Structure 1
Amino acid sequence: MSLLELQQVNAYYDQIRALHDLTLDVQEREIVTLIGSNGAGKSTTLKAICGQVKTTGKVLFADREITPLATHQVAQLGISHVPEGRRIFPKLTVKENLEMGAFSVRDKKVVQERIERVFDYFPRIKERLHQQGGTMSGGEQQMLAIGRALMSGPKLLLLDEPSMGLAPVIVEQIFEIIQELNKEGMTILLVEQNAYQALQIAHRGYVIQTGKITLGDTATNLLGNEQVKEAYLA
């Protein structure tokens, strides 16, 4: 069953059209990756899902059209977005950042349970509980950004370039956590410039070029596709 569907979606920055009749779907419990070069429209696709850019066409989530909704309404339905560059609150502590991720959760017991679950995934940030987010390393900030997104209890996690600027050992840890989340039932749409790494853990993938989907297939087939190899895996 499709949890997320984009049907003939166009996205605009003022008069500039950034997505062109983009169509894709994400099934429940899948990791789907969107790969492409810088400026291809990967981040814009996630913004279109979240209501952060002007769009036409249809975005469906759990068979409900969410295209007209504001960003906070999309989040309340169960979609969490970890944006490119992490964008944690640098002057807030780790604990305060996590609590911000649960702003719509009224039950304090649930909030605390989710914090503990985040610490299970990311023990390193538990050690930084009262440290300001902006003073942590890039890898720790990425862990915090993902942890904050999990605090709302999402059904769909949108990840935008989680490996950007991180050391290989940290990237490996982040991708292991993404796989673990998926094994526990989380549906994930992953935007990632490291196409090889993304396709290694994804079930399916799409290639986007200049705002258009040019190819969609299983991750295994994309890894073996000569055009994909030449353009993104070399």
Structure 2
Amino acid sequence: MLQLKKVESFYGGIQALKSIDVAVEKGEIVTLIGSNGAGKSTTLKSISGLVKVKTGNIVYNGREISNKPAHEVTLLGIAHVPEGRRIFPKLTVKENLLIGAFSVKNKHVVQERIEKVFQYFPKLKSRLDQKGGTMSGGEQQMLAIGRALMMKPDLLMLDEPSMGLAPIIVEQIFDIIKELNQEGITILLVEQNAYQALQIADRGYVIQTGEIRLHGYGHDLIKNEEVREAYLA
């Protein structure tokens, strides 16, 4: 479904990604793990068109998408939930969700998608007219994922969905990720909680200083001594 081939990206003169290769098959959960500054978020931003790719190729469903504008990447079926949620704090829950469906003209379809979001996150239904910025971190994360689901993506990219959340909320978020995957959405997950991510992932990649150091099945990486020492201790 998605393939990054020898991708290199820069922030000014600083190289963030160094010839990385990543593949995601349809129906998988694939996770990227690594320390802060390793290049995890830059990988997602490069896919979604927020960071320019200097060399290499990003191919989605057989189509080259390297350096496509972000809104065009979204219309192809790739939804990106960024680190830190990035909801619109002064807009209501409903307004945030409607922005997620910006390309959908049929109001009936939009309402159906809102109802589907409520099935995953029932708490949002009672907060429909509440401004996003007044909600808890966990509720904002639910809203950010819900907004992404409004476009009915084929590939959902999640950047640190557990960051700053209470353990019980983290469990809920990961349960939802598994449920979304079981319903047919392919997941590319960036997560510092390596153990939690590898537990639900089909496959994983370990990225360090912009380079892929290891990759393999999630259950194998959990047992890998290098991974355990660096990320699971």
TM-score clears 0.5: yes
Separation of aligned partners in 2, 1:228 and 1:143:
29
AA aligned to 1:176 is: D
Letter in 2 for 1:11: S
Q: Which runs of 4+ in 1 moved over 6 A?
A: none
Number of aligned residue pairs: give it. 232
Residue by residue, what CA displacement relative to the aligned partner does 1:10-42 show, whole Å, maximum 9, x if unpaired? 001111110000001000000000000000000
Of the structure 1 ranges 50-59 and 115-124, higher mean CA displacement relative to structure 2 is found in 50-59
Aligned mates of 2:42, 2:57 — CA distance in 1:
15
Of residues 170-179 and 64-73 in structure 1, the stretch that sits farther from structure 2 once superposed is 64-73
- How far 1:54 moved relative to its partner? 1.7
**Residue deviations 1:125-153, cap 9 Å, x none?**
11101000000000000000000000011
**Aligned residue in 1 for 2:186:** 187
Report the identity percentage. Answer: 69
Kindly indicate whether residue 172 of structure 2 is the aligned counterpart of residue 173 of structure 1.
yes
- What does residue 12 of structure 1 align with? 10
Q: What secondary structure does 2:173 align onto?
A: helix
1:35 to 29, 33, 36: 33
**Match for residue 140 of structure 1?**
139
Partners of 2:6 and 2:142 in 1: how far apart? Answer: 33
CA distance in 1, matches of 2:56, 2:76: 20
Matches of 1:110 and 1:208, distance apart in 2:
39
Q: Tell me the distance in 2 between the aligned counterparts of 1:188 and 1:92.
A: 27
Residue 68 of structure 1 deviates from its aligned partner by: 3.1
- Partner residue of 2:202? 203
User: What amino acid is aligned across from residue 229 of structure 1 in structure 2?
Assistant: R
Q: Secondary structure of 1:38's match?
A: coil
Distance 2:49 2:69 in 1: 6
Aligned amino acid, residue 5 of structure 1? Q
Q: Which residue is equivalent to 1:45?
A: 43
Aligned to 1:113: 112
The gaps in structure 1 that reach 5 residues or longer are none
**CA drift at 1:115:** 0.2
Tell me the SS of whatever aligns to 1:159.
strand
In the alignment, which residue of structure 1 is the partner of 2:52?
Answer: 54
For residue 67 of structure 2, what is the amino acid of its counterpart?
Answer: P
